[in-house]
Structure 1
Amino acid sequence: MIKSMTGFGRGEAQDAERQFTVEIKSVNHRYNDIVVRMPKRLTYLEEKIKDLIKNEVKRGRVEVYISLENLGEGDTKISLNRSLVNQYYQCLQEIKEGFDVKDDISVSVLSKFPDVFIIESKEEDEDEIWQCLKSAVLKAVEMLMKMRLAEGEKLAEDIVGRCDYIGNIMKTIEKKNPEVVQEYKNKLRDRINEMLEDAIQIDESRLSIEVAIFADKSSIAEEIVRLYSHIGQLKKSLKEQQPIGRKLDFLIQEMNREINTIGSKSSDLEIVNYVVEVKSELEKIREQVQNIE
């Protein structure tokens, strides 16, 4: 089943200390480009996150947004430096008594002195953090892949329908092509008769040679066969499990090449109009293929 490169996924996970929310969105891109935006203190997990996503997403630009909410005491611990506060207090008392200062010694005054508070980073279990974050990432990836698969299924249906339509047009062109040679022969005969005014009998062998040369130059049988083959390969590729976006893009290029050759060889207005119609459908398929992984 083919996958679209467009999708969105969201996942949440929490333990006793924290809650992670992960949002992933993907759009079409030539390569596999993953960008992770998350709190700086979690950057050491970036490669693990990318590896999880790469297991499922083979192509496309993927943007990952991670937010963290602390549910416990947080990652820092603040305590009072009692010894230092006591020294500050004693010094202030000396100032008050020695210089006859009547102002009170308040908490706000003491709290402004440097190093009154001790701030310590709480040691965290990195494996515990990763297990919680991993759960949220996997949930977001699962939702993303479901959306990409659903979108891919719709793209496949549209492409198959357009391929069938092109196939029907090619059958019409294939049926019409032999008539073009006969029409050329009749027109050539009429033109010669008009120019010579039936004064000289037409050399049938010479006329046949001219018609044969025209038929050879205007033959589109090979192009039609190759175009049928490309249509078959394209429809078959849509059932493959691995990423096929680049393969489909190549097949569309080859189909365009064949239909352009048919157009350049054809002098019949009806066939030329069919060629224009096929090229229009191929362009629509090409636009759809740009979104396939």
Structure 2
Amino acid sequence: MSFSMTGYGQSSLQFGGYKITFEVKSVNNRYCEVVLRMPRDWTGYEDMLRRKVLHHIKRGRVDVVINREITEETASVQMLSRPAVKSYLKAAEALKDEFGFTGELTLRDILSMPGVMELKEEAAATGFASFEEYSGMLELGLEQSLHSLLEMRAREGGYLAADLTRRLGHLEELHAEMAALAPAVVVEYRDKLRLRLNALNDGTFPFEEHKFGMEIATFADRCNIDEELTRLYSHFEQCRALLKGSEPAGRKLDFLIQEMNRETNTIGSKCNHLTLVNLTLDMKAELEKIREQAANLE
């Protein structure tokens, strides 16, 4: 199954008097990059959460945002920490005196600072959770949001794979036209060359069939595109196999598209035939569209 690199997932749960929300979004990236944003006192869980993301996602930039919000029940058992407020106000005054900063702390600023509001002693005692409990909660919430993200990436990946398969079919049609036309290139060149020589021959020089045959043989060898057509067909089959497989296909597809472009350029430089040249231009245009779509795959 093919996966897109773009997607979004969200989940939430209640734990320890807080509502914990998890948001995960992913966008295109050449490699796999995980960016985590969470409350500062939860940074000890970062490695565990990063490994969880990397277990599911192999390519793309993944932003994970974890927020916690006090529930109404918890808010009713909170109390103001006056020492924390005094400490913040004292630090603000020190900054003004030493560095010349201006401005005043508002009530909203003070209440949003860590440690200003704390649970009452009896509530804190009953709401205490161990490291393992917090770890399990965070892992569960992230797993749920990743599940939503992966579902979205799978749906988008299915659309991309269908479009790429259709475009591969168009490439195969162009390939079939090239293969059918390739033998006629030498025949047309031979007939045109013979007509040109007959028109130029005024009887002052003999027509040597042997040298004429050598010229045709040299041209046939120079414009032969059988190897390029064979390699192109092989690349088409590999692309189809990648799109149907379960492994991430984006990087391998990118490599195969480069190889198909190289073979197409070689055909265009060797063929010396207007119709074939036009077919190679059509193939290059289609390959560029495929490259743009494949860049969205994991």
Q: TM exceeds 0.5?
A: yes
Distance 1:76 1:42, change over 3 A: farther
Q: 1:169 aligns with which of 163, 167, 174?
A: 174
Displacement of 1:234 in angstroms is: 0.7
How many residue pairs get matched? 258
Counterpart Cα distance in 1 of 2:249 and 2:274: 36
Is contact 2:20–2:68 with CA below 8 Å preserved after alignment? Answer: yes
* RMSD value, Cα: 2.4
Is contact 1:218–1:265 with CA below 8 Å preserved after alignment? Answer: yes
The residue type equivalent to 1:27 in the other structure is V
Equivalent positions of 1:1-293 (< 5 A) are 1-15=1-15, 17-71=17-71, 72-73=73-74, 122=124, 124-125=128-129, 126-197=131-202, 200=205, 202-293=207-298
Counterpart Cα distance in 2 of 1:37 and 1:118: 22
The residue type equivalent to 1:15 in the other structure is F
Identity among equivalent pairs (%): 40
Query: SS of the counterpart of 2:56?
Result: coil
Counterpart Cα distance in 1 of 2:229 and 2:143: 47
Query: SS of the counterpart of 1:55?
Result: helix
Q: Structure 1 length as normaliser, TM-score?
A: 0.82
Displacement of 1:73 in angstroms is: 3.5
Distance 1:253 1:118, change over 3 A: closer
Is contact 2:239–2:253 with CA below 8 Å preserved after alignment? Answer: yes
The residue type equivalent to 1:14 in the other structure is Q
Deviations 1:3-44 (A, max 9, x none): 111111111111352211111110111111000111112111
Is contact 2:78–2:117 with CA below 8 Å preserved after alignment? Answer: no
Distance 1:162 1:119, change over 3 A: closer
The residue type equivalent to 1:171 in the other structure is A
Deviations 1:61-97 (A, max 9, x none): 001111101235369755899xxxxxxxxxxxxxxxx
Is contact 1:7–1:26 with CA below 8 Å preserved after alignment? Answer: yes
Displacement of 1:264 in angstroms is: 0.5
Counterpart Cα distance in 2 of 1:136 and 1:143: 11
Distance 1:79 1:164, change over 3 A: closer
The residue type equivalent to 2:148 in the other structure is M
The 4+ residue runs of structure 1 with deviation greater than 3 A are 72-81, 117-124, 197-201
Distance 1:79 1:201, change over 3 A: closer
